[in-house]
Amino acid sequence: MLERSATHISEYHPILIPGPLQTAGYAQALVTARQVGVPKERIEKIVKIRIERLPAIVPKRPVLWYVVDEIVATRVIGNETVMKEQLAHLVSLATAGTIRFQVIPGDVRMHCGLCSPFRLPTLASGQTVVFMEHTFGGTVFDRPDQVRQMATLFGALQAEALSPSRSIDLVRTTLGGLG
């Protein structure tokens, strides 16, 4: 997996908490909703793989920078308990300095990130690639012009987003409103 050999990961997701940041409850709610009729054991295996991603990459101390749309922090996935745990996890990761997390506020109606989720891992070799997620997994792009285009897009998304500290304040506010 590209993440495990990355020294820097920049990721944008318009509708969900990025996979490496998901708690077991959040991941289970997502996988269960999408995998209708799949045996419980298979769902548990998918969730286990997903929640093991961050612990596998953090020891190498890569720079981890995530940008999401506000709906990611405010849409309840699963139920309020699941979402409270997920948002508290994000706050914990950000305040510990494990990740940088930015939210594009909902009042930014037209921004350049109205697109599919993508990740820009920079590998130990210094090469950066683009990983575009889709229903069946993802596709890697490594042409320099494609990487530059997506790196520019990520920079523009960061510029549209709240600062990391204001983003975490928004997450805390949402967390406080979840009863």
Domain of residue 121, CATH code: 3.30.870
For the chain, list residues with pLDDT below 70: 1
Let me know: does 74 contact 167? Beta carbons within 8 Å: no
pLDDT value of residue 36: 83
CA 169 – CA 115 distance, rounded (Å):
26
Taking alpha carbons only, the member of 52, 50, 49, 60 closest to residue 123 is 60
pLDDT value of residue 50: 92
Structural domain count of the chain:
1
pLDDT value of residue 1: 64
**Domain extent for 112:** 2-176
